[in-house]
Amino acid sequence: MARSYQRGTDLIKEAAERKSSRRFTPNIYWKPGDVRTIAFLTEAGEIPKVLLHQMVRVPDDRYDSGFRYENIICKKDPSMVEEFGGQCELCDDVKHTPAERFIALAVELDPVKEGKRVTSLKVKTNLAKNKDGVETAYPQWGLVIQASKNFFSYFAAFSESSGDIREVAWEIHREGGSTDTKYHPFMVMEGKNAVELPDLSAIVDEIPTLDELLEGMSTDEKYNEVKGLDPGTQPSFGGKKKTSDDGAVPSGARQTEFAKIRETVEPY
């Protein structure tokens, strides 16, 4: 049964106003000082808010380290409270704290420049061997998993005031490396006009949908792998969430329609 995830730019705004089967799914992320150019494939009003256990350390003998990291949606997320009764092994037994995150699907782009001027954009690719051992260029797509306050609030405001965030390319700079992290997004422009996006239709047709990827982050297989993990052995990511008396995040209907932002949202 497909779950209904909370969506709507009002959710991004509300969060900004508060203080704060195994398949590899790529993420697009920024290290301190990074600059990346992306095209969003998810409209701002359709970006879901989830309670996410980030960087869960899962035992895996295939790796030299003996483990791998996974992002797993918390069973106390409103989309899952009814199904699991507000009980989550990662929260209650492993003591891994989830964080409120917004998730969008995007494609990374490479700017083509003449001097400092961006004249066009092309899809960024990575070389990897396919199942036949042939080295193939794959488009660099992935999930953008970020908080509202220092990232998605800007795009919620842009969507309300200027239009669809999918229609332009974004050059995003990361400043800082911890609680002082800021993201600075800029539309990729040539003079007064936005640089035209490359045709992304073939990529959209081939990659999983955002909802399919979200379902993959909440499979029985993932939850079964974390059963029995020792409490306190996990790295700490995210902040403390607000809960109801029974420890579950209050349930409610997921918002799927565009919701108007009534006030100006500060980008950072």
pLDDT (tens digit per residue) in 101-132: 999 999 999 999 999 899 999 999 988 877 78
Q: What is the mean pLDDT of the chain?
A: 82
Residue 58 has pLDDT above 80, yes or no: yes
Tell whether 242 is covered by a domain: no
Task: Kindly state the percentage of the chain with pLDDT values over 90.
Answer: 61
Predicted confidence (pLDDT) at residue 176 exceeds the cutoff of 80: yes
Tell me whether residue 119 is in a domain. yes
Q: Considering the domain boundaries, does residue 246 fall inside one?
A: no
pLDDT band per the 50, 70, 90 thresholds, residue 141: very high
Average pLDDT value for residue range 56-84: 92
Range with top average pLDDT, 59-63, 182-186, 230-234: 182-186
Q: Is 74 a domain residue?
A: yes
Determine the structural domain holding residue 141 and report its residue range. 6-226
The pLDDT confidence band at residue 9, using thresholds 50, 70 and 90, is: low
Q: How far apart are CA 162 and CA 154, in angstroms?
A: 11
The answer to whether position 78 is within a domain reads yes
37, part of any domain: yes
Q: Is the pLDDT of residue 258 over 60?
A: no
In this prediction, residue 14 carries a pLDDT of 55
CB atoms inside a 10 Å sphere around CB 166? 18
pLDDT at 227: 87
Tell me if 158 sits within 8 A of 172, measured CB to CB.
Answer: no
Confidence of residue 47 (pLDDT cuts 50, 70, 90): very high
- In the 8-state DSSP scheme, what is residue 44? G
pLDDT at residue 226 is higher than 50: yes
Q: Are 187 and 52 in contact (CB under 8 A)?
A: no
Residue 258 belongs to some domain of the structure:
no
4-31 average pLDDT score:
62
CA angle (71 as vertex; 206, 10 as ends), nearest 5: 80
Higher pLDDT, 3 or 247: 3
Rounded Cα distance between 58 and 232, Å, is 13
Q: Give the integer Cα–Cα distance in Å for 124 and 32.
A: 20
C-alpha span between 28 and 17 (Å, rounded): 25
What's the domain count of the chain? 1
Q: Which residues pair with 135 in a beta bridge?
A: 129
Q: Is residue 233 part of a domain?
A: no
